[in-house]
Structure 1
Amino acid sequence: MNIKSNGSMNLANMNKELAYTTEDTMVPCSDGYMLAASIYRPKINYKGAILIGPATGIKRQFYTGIATYLAEMVSVLSHTIIEE
């Protein structure tokens, strides 16, 4: 079984190279808060992007499954506010 580094499993692509790349980053906001973000980019040319705004109290990693599915077609950004 092929388990991707982000912890999710994609049975349809068990023996194929991933169709997207992932990047974890921090985004500074004008109010001083930092957003921890995961960016999923398809390796093909894409025509759009999706922003996933997690529900209150839910970490962005909860949305990894849908983000990786969508990342095969469009660029996806999921974020979490980092409390100081």
Structure 2
Amino acid sequence: MVVTGEVDMATADTMLQAALRESAARVTLDLRAVTFFDSAAIHAVVRLAGQYPGTLTVLPSRQVTRVLEIAGLGGQPWLPPG
């Protein structure tokens, strides 16, 4: 699933619900075109990680990577080594 632009309080739940509708065994959340990512977005990704344990991959933009690192989530198994 490709996400672009801002993921914030107004859009994070939409992203979450769209990803939860994925019927694949593995889910890739492509955030490389995301320019803003707030705590609501973090919460949505953490919920997805719980829903798809071991099968979620998040491809972050530089901004998303920075936010996740600041939040202490930089070493999560759903992030590719960087």
Question: Considering only CA atoms, is the larger Rg found in Structure 1 or Structure 2?
Answer: 1
Same fold (TM over 0.5): no
Normalising by structure 1, report the TM-score.
0.29
Which structure shows the higher helix fraction? 2
Which structure shows the higher strand fraction? 1
